[in-house]
Structure 1
């Protein structure tokens, strides 16, 4: 009879999130890939994740609602999508992830219909952190997505979708 190695206990997803948030680093198991000129880059899984697992932190500068309003006045439209509003300890705050800092969370794309992760506010040493947790099992090669929550995003417009489909058809005719 062969000796079996005891299985290592799986770390609690919330503790896993706290660990990586306190390090200020992304965990391994993800890759950045270019998708297309409209969507840009996205984050893809390189391994399996189970439903409930901590995936990635959405890092950036935590700012007040007033500071967010000031920045929205000067930011180009392409940078405004990196603002994430949330409530923490009764305050309305925002994470501004507009600055390219090498972190993965800012590159996770929107999926309003079938997201595979969900953003949750997690407190670490009294400070808020935005953490993505798997809504379902995720396999290697799958893009990590979450529902941004805003219904007025331009890429969700039916006019845009039909226009994009027509552009694709026209490209194939060339």
Structure 2
């Protein structure tokens, strides 16, 4: 009987383990690229390979701040920076991820889609700290733009009339 000289395959991480791994590294996963779309939308994030429903995509990274600090920053930020503030609840406390600083991460470039998003942000605990992670809510094909629903808000682009 001949023994195969192939290396054993590593077990695939589940989506939560994948999220924890990349959050702990503070890096984005391979398989995505940022592209300029147009002057209205700016940049967006596109898949370079297929992803399955439930897969971890990447983290919406930035500085985690309190509600009070968020209010202070919103008073001094230009409107173009305010869109990078993401409110969330963690351990009964209202917090915010401020991703206004350009840091090369992909999460801050994901565009809003209130009608047909393909991902969703979930608060994920890694080493006791909150992280905002995007997970696919449907299968995503190669070349597809990654989007999520920013939630109930009067975002200015949602009222844009296209003629």
Fold in common (TM above 0.5): yes
Selected match of 1:152 from 146, 151, 154 = 154
Distance 2:49 2:141 in 1: 6
Distance 1:77 1:145 in 2: 21
Residue 106 in structure 1 maps to residue 112 in structure 2: no
The 3-state SS of whatever aligns with 1:102 is coil
Q: How many residues align?
A: 158
Q: In structure 2, what is the equivalent of residue 118 of structure 1?
A: 120
The 3-state SS of whatever aligns with 2:123 is strand
Return 5+ residue gaps in structure 2 as ranges.
Answer: none
Distance 1:113 1:53 in 2: 21
Distance 1:62 1:151 in 2: 21
Distance 1:17 1:108 in 2: 17
1:10 Cα offset (Å): 2.2
TM-score by length of 2: 0.93
Distance 1:151 1:24 in 2: 29
Q: In structure 2, what is the equivalent of residue 134 of structure 1?
A: 136
Q: Superposition RMSD on alpha carbons, in Å?
A: 1.2
Q: Which 4+ stretches in 1 moved above 4 angstroms?
A: 5-8
1:8 Cα offset (Å): 4.4
Return 5+ residue gaps in structure 1 as ranges.
Answer: 167-174
The 3-state SS of whatever aligns with 2:141 is coil
Which protein has the bigger helix share? Answer: 1
Q: In structure 2, what is the equivalent of residue 75 of structure 1?
A: 77
TM-score by length of 1: 0.88
